[in-house]
Amino acid sequence: MFYLYKIGPIILAILMMFSFQQKVSAEENDPLGLKSEAAVLMDTDTNAVLYAKNPDEKLFPASVTKIATAIYAIEKGRLNDIVTVSANAVNQDGTRVYLVEGEQVPLKKLIQGMLINSGNDAAIAIAEYLDGNVEKFSENINEFLKTKIGVTNTHFMNPNGLHDPNHYTTARDLALITNYAMKNPVFAEIFGTKFLPWEGKAWNTTLVTHHIMLKGEMPYPGITGGKTGYTTDAKQTLATTANNGNIKLTAIVLRSDGKMAKYEDTARLFDYGFKEYKRSTLNHGERFTVDHEEFYLEKDTPITEDNNGIIKKVSSNGILSIEKNDGQVLQQVQLKHKEPKPKIKLVKNEKSKEKDQLPYISAIFGVMLLGGVLVLFNVKKKATKRF
């Protein structure tokens, strides 16, 4: 007992030190102290990652899945097409826009109902219109996301985000999907809609976005769009875009325990991004030299710049890295290689030499001929004087 009494404080001190080291390590990995399990802050236009917490952890997205469904539908479908609602769509669980079997609705209206009011029934109607059934839709949208947007850790089983163990994504992939979608003006308009009058066979109302930062219940300057999500397995999820007039940002938070926590995390991300970063442009034609090889920019290129300055590094294969002073890579740009002008060596053959000599020979002959004419003229003149 005495022995244990003696070593007890030592063990306690070691445990406290280990606990402190873990806390310091966690704070270093997440200095903003976010409550969400995963998060990413990206420049909306350049895809520069400005802040990340577990960005590549595969998690359930819940209804933020509908961002992908919306941009896929906008690009593949025709917005004025009339979609006939099926019984399968009507019988979906969760949030709906209360569609009726056989009801005919324009595709754009379904996309609006899906994004603004998170209608699970509208999402299924869209999937069946695009690809015939949900299974084929899942196959096609996964291919679309990989080949068109370049995601690497996403697999969707349905268009609405209702729970499925094989339906997952990451904070990084969701940010890339949102950034891609925001370049489409139709998507950006719907994503930023706060209120929309809705007239349906079974439901006449005004749709109101569920995103409280977007609709102003939790005011934040510059919010341009947003989509909420929740299931028991996914917990709280959120996608939000904002613009301060200089730089556009996209914030994704996944697996948050509290409804307000995801908004608080989003505000922290935006506070950090707007304070620390700005947008600038690399001008067309700007040149960079590496190992005597010259590279240049084909067009004006927007970049994300740390307010404390950036470092530009070019690799031997012409990839320009935009880095912070601490070495963190913000963005990479592929440069164009400037091919050196070939040196032309003229090799003259005998015939060409002869041709080159002709002008000189002709000139000499001409001078001699002129001299002979002058001599004859003088002789004739003297002879005339004698007579």
pLDDT-derived band at 364 (thresholds 50, 70, 90) equals low
More confident residue, 384 or 228: 228
The CATH code of domain 30-276 reads 3.40.710.10
Mean per-residue pLDDT, 113-138: 98
| 352 catalytic residue (yes or no) | no
Instruction: Give the pLDDT confidence score for residue 231 in this predicted structure.
Output: 97
Q: How far apart are CA 326 and CA 147, in angstroms?
A: 33
Residue-wise pLDDT for 250-267, tens only, equals 999 999 998 899 999 999
Q: Which one of 118, 138, 256, 262 is the catalytic residue?
A: 118
Residue 293 has pLDDT above 60, yes or no: yes
Q: What are phi and psi of 211, to 5 degrees?
A: -85, 110
Identify each DSSP E strand in the chain by its residue range: 38-43, 49-53, 82-84, 104-106, 195-199, 204-208, 223-231, 235-243, 248-256, 277-282, 287-290, 293-296, 301-306, 311-314, 319-323, 329-334, 336-337
Burial class, 45, CB count within 10 angstroms (exposed 0-12 / middle 13-18 / buried 19+): middle
Q: What integer pLDDT is reported at residue 344 of this predicted model?
A: 60
Which range has highest mean pLDDT (2-11, 111-120, 342-351, 366-375)? 111-120
| Catalytic site residue from 35, 36, 53, 66 | 66
User: For residue range 186-197, what is the model confidence (pLDDT) as tens digits?
Assistant: 999 999 999 999
Residue 1 has pLDDT above 50, yes or no: no
Q: Which of 38-47, 154-163, 173-182, 279-288 has the lowest mean pLDDT?
A: 279-288
Distance of CA 197 to the CA centre of its chain: 32
Does residue 118 register a pLDDT over 60? yes
User: For position 144, what pLDDT does the model report?
Assistant: 98
Average pLDDT value for residue range 74-88: 98
Does residue 100 have a pLDDT over 60? yes
Give domain limits for the chain. Answer: 30-276, 283-337
355 among known catalytic residues: no
Give the position of tokens 């990413």. Answer: 40
Do the beta carbons of residue 263 and residue 251 sit within 8 Å? Answer: no
Of 27-31, 164-168, 334-338, 374-378, the range with the highest mean pLDDT is: 164-168
Confidence band, pLDDT 50/70/90 cuts, at residue 357: low
**Over the chain, what is the mean pLDDT?**
87
Tell me the percentage of the chain whose pLDDT exceeds 70: 80
> Six-digit token pair at 137?
């839709």
Nearest Cα neighbor of 161 from 73, 61, 290, 36 is 61
**In the 8-state DSSP scheme, what is residue 317?**
T
Determine what percent of the chain is predicted with pLDDT higher than 90.
70
Report the pLDDT value the prediction gives residue 345, as an integer from 0 to 100: 60
What tens digit of pLDDT does each residue of 5-47 get? 444 444 334 333 333 333 333 345 789 999 999 999 999 999 9
- pLDDT, residue 371, reads 59
DSSP-assigned states of every residue in 77-105: S-TT-EEEPPHHHHT--SS-----TT-EE
Q: What is the mean pLDDT of residues 145-151?
A: 98
Secondary structure (3-state) at 15: helix
DSSP 65-77: HHHHHHHHHHHHS
201 CB-contact burial (10 Å; exposed 0-12 / middle 13-18 / buried 19+): middle
Q: How many CB atoms lie within 10 A of CB 302?
A: 16
User: What is the per-residue pLDDT across 169-187, written as a single tens digit (0 to 9) for each?
Assistant: 999 999 999 999 999 999 9
Q: What average pLDDT does range 362-386 have in this prediction?
A: 55
Contact 113, 198 (CB under 8 A): yes
pLDDT tens by residue, 294-321: 888 988 999 999 999 899 889 988 899 9
Catalytic residue among 35, 36, 53, 63: 63
Q: What is the pLDDT of residue 343?
A: 59
* Active site annotation includes 341: no
Residue 380's pLDDT is what? 55
